[in-house]
């Protein structure tokens, strides 16, 4: 019966080509607009580390006091001072922890034919690699001993390894960064979490891959300044040593806390730490701390661009209008066939049969709309670069999931839209139709 | 034209009437807000930068290896000499940033050292005595920096130069109605005397968070002497921008190869800087524009479809009316008026909806309040659209011959 109704549906679609084309186009446009903007939204609202997002936390400590916090809805600063970060590292209350900041390192290739170049780089602790589940192609992270020894070691990315060592295992080899020599302990395989959760404060959350990592302790020894934000609420004084001891904030901190009990304990520890700073006279205010996991942190940092949200909402409104349009057109189409329905009913077709026939016909329209929508979504995803910044636009892709979603959305939406016209069609009294003829 | 018979006819087509009215209402609500977003974005991206955009380009120069502040400063001065000697170059200046760059050093400005609340936020531009000439800025009052006032600054040095220039927007904020020249302001590192006021200069960030101090800048007599490098802002002679943009990196590399000038974005014309800064605004305006056009087209098509159906349904009645003496004009007017009534109903609901959506957007997305002009404009557009869409089916209806009344289906 399904196949027969489907065939009937297709035949009826051909009978009113203009009306059908209108419906198919309307559904196609509505679905395509929604899916294109959804593809951007999905990419920006992505959970970059789903297996661990509830175990990784960003602690925040208010070291600036209530006046500054008041400007930010009472929230503590979004970065940390060197003093607090190193104290937290020393106390070592989490399973793993790291402090991190972006640095600008120039790579000087041994190969004289290659010009020096810059790479996105971070200074952090060796723990970070295991914390963030970073996959290694060769070698491994540097050791705790290296961190403590402020060692000249580095981990590089796969792309950089390809460029400098033609893809060979470079573990144990040297690399010249800013004129200093570092020994490579590992090569990271493809790793580019999106959004770049570990440092959304200093990036726009969508950036190229990080290709070099060096120990935080060594970077500070070399007085390598942050390539990211540095915020001071008062004069830090002259020179590096004063700056590093100042209340200027420039560091991100991450702690790995395997379960909620650990997180609660860590919250208490943070408050205790802030209270201790208050007692020692550094803070003149009650402890004000936060501990957010990855999802909360990305949410708090408003990683999803406003444009992505607004355009998704507008597109959904657009789809709604397209569906209202479809309801009207289906109504016109079905009611035009009132006499045909009358005959079918008079010959013994039940209301249920009428429902089945017309809903299947609607589904056929929906499928056609979905196919048009798929084509338009494809074009939309290509054209996303016109609307969003390149680093966000490149994240929007047409994958299997999106293809299926497009088709399902088109069919489901059209069938939903068809309920009212179908109900009206099923209400047709056979006697009336036969009489007027 | 009598409205009563039209209304009673519509009562028999409740569903169709309701659907068209709803579609018009929702379209109005979305189109109003979309047009409003477009207008705001376009207004944002046409704010003036105050600089000679047609002839300016920016070189991002990074040094290889580490050097002391003195070495870095010497290298920068060498580079500037090289750049200024190029035939296509009118002038060049080193800075930590440039207008529309996207971010950089912002600082709080105070009028007293012990003040708790800042007087204003401000962009900090590093400048030498060529800054005004290179960017093509006009002095509104006071004087330019003198060459001997420019000093090098290392990355963690304290910022509190003896003299500064400010933009007129900042001067007006700090000293409303008064002459700012000779007055003192406090940057994070100490007091500075204002020696000059620059007419118009846009901030380095045009994002929302920086909109509170969009045109307020402090220009400090400093050269950024850090091992990392700095920006060179270069003004080409009129008509020689492209040539100068090619010549500059070549000449710099020839003079000293131990540097990095990124191939992709190391040298940017100001037109490119502007395009990058307003990427989001332009994109949003394009998207909203496309959605508006497609939406209006689909709504129009929907009206055509449903009215055609009604006309087909009523051929007999139309024939009867024609037989009873109604002219073609009457039939045409009947459908036009019918559509106008439905559209007006839809527009009424749509206006309420448009304002409601806008109010919600204001709370969620820090948008501005919708001006009623947009709603009015939207209503006019949709009424015209409805009339235009209904015209073809109505014409067809008016051509139904009176003889139709005598035919049975």
Q: What are the structural domain ranges in chain B?
A: 4-45+280-406, 65-257
Beta-carbon separation of A318 and B361 below 8 A = no
User: CB under 8 Å to B311, separation ≥6 — which residues?
Assistant: B318, B335, B393, B394, B396, B397
The 3-state DSSP class for residue B396 equals helix
Query: What is the per-residue pLDDT for A397?
Result: 83
B127 cis-preceded (ω within 30 degrees of 0): no
Containing H/E element for B252? helix B241-255
Taking the CA of residue B139 and the nearest CA in chain A, the distance in Å comes to 30
Q: Nearest Cα to B16, choosing from B331, B310, B343, B298?
A: B310
Task: Give the span between the Cα atoms of B352 and B293, in whole angstroms.
Answer: 22
DSSP one-letter code for A387 = T
Residue B128 pLDDT class (50, 70, 90 cuts): very high
Residue A6, pLDDT score:
80
Asked if residue B405 has pLDDT above 90, the reply is: no
Which A positions 244-303 lie with beta carbon below 8 A of chain B? none
**Cβ B183 vs Cβ B175: under 8 Å:** yes
B206, B214 Cβ separation under 8 angstroms: yes
Q: How far is A5 from chain B (nearest CA, A)?
A: 24
Closest to A170 in 3D by CA, of A159, A156, A181: A156
Are B41 and B282 contacting, i.e. CB atoms less than 8 angstroms apart?
A: yes
Task: Map residue A147 onto helix, strand or coil.
Answer: helix
Element (H, E) at A191: none
Within its chain, how far is the Cα of A436 from the centroid? Answer: 61
- Residues with Cβ within 8 Å of B18's Cβ and at least 6 positions away in sequence, in order, are none
**Residues constituting chain A:** 437
Nearest to A307 among B280, B308, B409 (CB): B280
pLDDT confidence of residue B12? 79
Residues B71-85: pLDDT tens digits? 889 999 999 999 999
pLDDT at residue A59 in the model: 96
Tokens of A40: 């951007």
Q: Give buried/exposed letters for A285-322 (b at 16+ CB in 10 A, else e).
A: eebbbbbbbbbebbeebebbbebbbbbbbbbebbbbbb
Domain ranges of chain A: 2-45+305-436, 56-300
CB contact under 8 A, A324 and B188: no
pLDDT value of residue A90: 94
Handedness of CA B206, B212, B214, B219 (dihedral sign): negative
> Which residues does chain A have with pLDDT short of 50?
437
Closest residue in B to A334 (Cα–Cα): B309
Residues in chain B with CB shorter than 8 Å from the CB of A222 are: 66
Residues of chain A neighbouring B29 (CB-CB closer than 8 A): 317
Q: What is the mean pLDDT of chain B?
A: 90
Mean pLDDT for the stretch of residues B59-73: 86
How many C-beta atoms surround the C-beta of residue B299 within 10 A?
Answer: 27
pLDDT at residue A437, as a whole number: 47
Classify residue A274 by burial, with Cβ atoms within 10 Å: 0-12, 13-18, 19+.
buried
CB A257 within 8 A of CB A55: yes
For chain B, what percentages of helix, strand and coil (3-state, to nearest 5) are there?
A: 55, 20, 30
Residue range B251-291, pLDDT digits in tens: 999 999 888 898 888 999 999 999 999 988 998 899 899 98
**pLDDT for residue A435:** 66
* Nearest chain B residue (CA) to A24: B298
Q: Given this model, what pLDDT does residue B197 score?
A: 96
Length of chain B: 409
Q: In whole angstroms, how far apart are CA B2 and each of B5, B8, B11, B308, B390? A: 7, 11, 15, 22, 19
Helices (H) and strands (E) in chain A, counts: 17, 10
**Where are the strands (E) in B229-359, listed by range?**
229-236, 259-260, 267-269
Give the residue on B whose Cα is nearest the Cα of A23.
B302
Chain B residues within an 8 Å CB radius of A26: 298, 301-302
The predicted-structure confidence for B104-120, as pLDDT tens digits, reads as follows 888 889 999 888 788 89
């Amino acid at each position: 019966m399904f196949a027969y109704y489907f065939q009937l549906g297709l035949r009826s679609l051909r009978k009113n080509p203009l009306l059908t084309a209108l419906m198919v186009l309307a559904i196609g446009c509505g679905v395509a607009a929604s899916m294109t903007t959804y593809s951007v939204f999905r990419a920006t609202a992505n959970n970059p580390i789903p297996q661990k997002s509830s175990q990784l936390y960003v602690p925040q400590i208010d070291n600036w006091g209530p006046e500054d916090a008041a400007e930010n809805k009472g929230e503590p600063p979004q970065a940390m001072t060197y003093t607090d970060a190193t104290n937290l590292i020393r106390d070592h209350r989490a399973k793993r922890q790291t402090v991190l900041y972006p640095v600008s390192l120039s790579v000087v290739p041994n190969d004289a034919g290659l010009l020096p170049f810059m790479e996105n780089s971070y200074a952090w602790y060796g723990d970070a690699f295991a914390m963030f589940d970073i996959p290694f192609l060769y070698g491994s992270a540097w050791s705790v001993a290296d961190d403590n020894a402020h060692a000249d070691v580095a981990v590089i990315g796969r792309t950089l390894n390809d460029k400098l060592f033609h893809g060979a295992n470079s573990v144990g080899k040297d690399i010249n960064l800013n004129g200093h020599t570092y020994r490579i302990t590992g090569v990271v395989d493809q790793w580019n979490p999106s959004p770049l959760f570990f440092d959304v404060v200093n990036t726009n959350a969508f950036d190229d891959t990080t290709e070099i990592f060096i120990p935080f302790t060594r970077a500070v020894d070399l007085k390598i300044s942050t390539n990211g934000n540095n915020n001071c609420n008062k004069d830090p004084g002259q020179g590096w040593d004063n700056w590093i001891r100042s209340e200027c904030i420039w560091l991100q901190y991450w702690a790995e806390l395997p379960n909620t009990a650990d997180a609660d304990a860590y919250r208490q520890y943070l408050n205790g730490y802030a209270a201790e700073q208050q007692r020692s006279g550094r803070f003149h205010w009650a402890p004000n701390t936060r501990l957010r996991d990855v999802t909360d942190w990305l949410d708090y940092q408003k990683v999803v661009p406003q444009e992505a949200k607004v355009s998704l909402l507008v597109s959904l409104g657009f789809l709604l209008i397209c569906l209202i349009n479809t309801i009207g057109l289906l109504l016109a189409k079905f009611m035009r066939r009132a006499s045909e329905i009358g005959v079918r009913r008079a010959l013994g077709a039940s209301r249920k049969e009428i429902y089945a026939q017309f809903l299947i016909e609607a589904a056929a329209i929906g499928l056609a709309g979905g196919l048009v929508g798929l084509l338009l979504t494809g074009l939309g995803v290509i054209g996303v670069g016109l609307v969003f910044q390149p680093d966000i636009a490149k994240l929007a892709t047409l994958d299997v999931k999106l293809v299926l979603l497009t088709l399902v959305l088109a069919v489901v939406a059209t069938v939903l839209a068809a309920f009212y016209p179908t109900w009206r069609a099923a209400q047709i009294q056979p006697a009336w139709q036969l009489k007027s003829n | 034209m009598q409205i009563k018979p039209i209304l009673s006819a519509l009562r028999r087509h409740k569903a169709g009437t309701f659907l068209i009215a709803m579609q018009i209402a929702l379209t109005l609500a979305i189109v109003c807000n979309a047009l409003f977003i477009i207008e705001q974005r376009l207004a944002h991206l046409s704010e003036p930068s105050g600089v000679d955009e047609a002839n300016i380009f920016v070189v991002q120069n990074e040094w290889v290896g580490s050097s002391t502040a003195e070495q870095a400063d010497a290298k920068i001065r060498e580079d500037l000499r090289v750049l200024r000697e190029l035939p296509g170059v009118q002038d060049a200046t080193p800075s930590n940033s440039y207008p529309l760059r996207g971010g950089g050093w912002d600082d709080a400005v105070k009028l007293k050292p012990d003040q708790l609340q800042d007087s204003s936020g401000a962009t900090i531009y590093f400048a030498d005595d060529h800054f005004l000439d290179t960017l093509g800025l006009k002095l509104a009052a006071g004087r330019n920096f003198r060459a001997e006032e420019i000093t090098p600054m290392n990355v963690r040095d304290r910022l509190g130069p003896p003299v500064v220039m400010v933009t007129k927007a900042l001067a007006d904020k700090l000293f409303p109605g008064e002459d700012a020249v000779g007055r003192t302001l406090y940057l994070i590192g100490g007091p500075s005397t204002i020696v000059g006021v620059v007419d118009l200069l846009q901030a380095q960030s045009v994002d929302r968070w920086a909109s509170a101090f969009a045109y307020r800048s402090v220009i400090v007599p400093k050269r950024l002497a850090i091992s990392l490098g700095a920006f060179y802002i270069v003004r080409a002679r009129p008509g020689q921008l492209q040539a100068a943009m090619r010549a500059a990196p070549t000449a710099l590399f020839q003079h000293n190869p131990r540097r990095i000038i990124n191939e992709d974005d190391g040298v940017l014309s100001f037109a490119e800087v502007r395009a990058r800064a307003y990427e989001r605004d332009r994109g949003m305006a394009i998207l909203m524009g496309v959605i508006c056009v497609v939406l209006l087209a689909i709504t129009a098509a929907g009206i055509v479809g449903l009215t055609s159906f009604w006309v087909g349904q009523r051929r007999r009645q139309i024939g009867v009316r024609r037989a009873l003496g109604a002219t073609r004009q009457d039939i045409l007017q009947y459908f036009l008026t019918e559509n106008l009534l439905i559209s007006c109903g839809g527009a009424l609901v749509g206006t309420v909806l448009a304002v409601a959506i806008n109010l919600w957007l204001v709370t969620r997305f820090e948008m501005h309040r919708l001006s009623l002009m947009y709603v009015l404009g939207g209503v006019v557009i949709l009424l015209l659209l409805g009339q235009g869409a209904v015209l073809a089916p109505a014409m067809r209806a008016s051509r139904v011959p009176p003889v139709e009344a005598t035919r049975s289906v």
